[in-house]
Structure 1
Amino acid sequence: MQLGLVYGIYVVNDLYANHLGFMRNTSFFSEEFAQSWLGRYLVVLPIVMLLLSIFLVWRERTKERYLLLIIAAIWLSWLYSASLQLVPIYYLVVAIIFVILLLQLLLIGLVGRKNRG
């Protein structure tokens, strides 16, 4: 499912490049989101996810937790290196990566529960 979401980034990029209506809606909502309070404080979310993943790896070293740490670090670095001016689908990519991180957290919870029970 996570790989499907990564592929979804390319699909959304293709939609943006080839469909004028999608391009207009994406541009409008991206500008609106950038002006909202959540858009201004969006940088806090990857930092929290990175700290949470470091804590989880520190508690128990499993490959799922290391993968969460890697994804969170990539997300944080991408968030600081890209911008809405460089990547028109910036907030869509941010949302897709956030969903990938949530799925990884769910996977960690399921694997942890299976190992305990």
Structure 2
Amino acid sequence: FEAAGVKDTDGLLDKGCTKAGRKALAEATGLSESRILTFVNMADLFRIKGVAGEYAELLVCAGVDTVKELKTRNAANLATKLAEVNAEKKLTRQVPGEKTVADWIQQAGELPGKIEH
């Protein structure tokens, strides 16, 4: 990503939030556009305080791949789904509880959507 001028996750999100941007990143890095989108989606989730690598991966495996998607979820249902996914995939030592998930959903509701498809 450095060769494409991306220095951090914010830069990745800024450059990869559009289809044209992802195409340019794919050309510069040699990665597929779908792989770039996966990384961009993770960078989007990193905007939520408390969500980093393992939790972002857990959210994606539970079907939540963007902030826009997270803001539509029910905290109790999502917390249950995260526990189920983690029991199967063992992605993190501690699964976030309903209160934490509710906080993530609230934060997501306050953030603008950034990714265009």
- TM-score tier by shorter-chain length is under 0.3
The structure showing larger relative contact order (alpha-carbon pairs under 8 Å, at least 6 residues apart) is: 1
Structure with bigger helix share is: 1
TM-score (ref. length: structure 2): 0.26
TM-score (ref. length: structure 1): 0.26
Larger Rg, first or second structure (1 or 2): 1
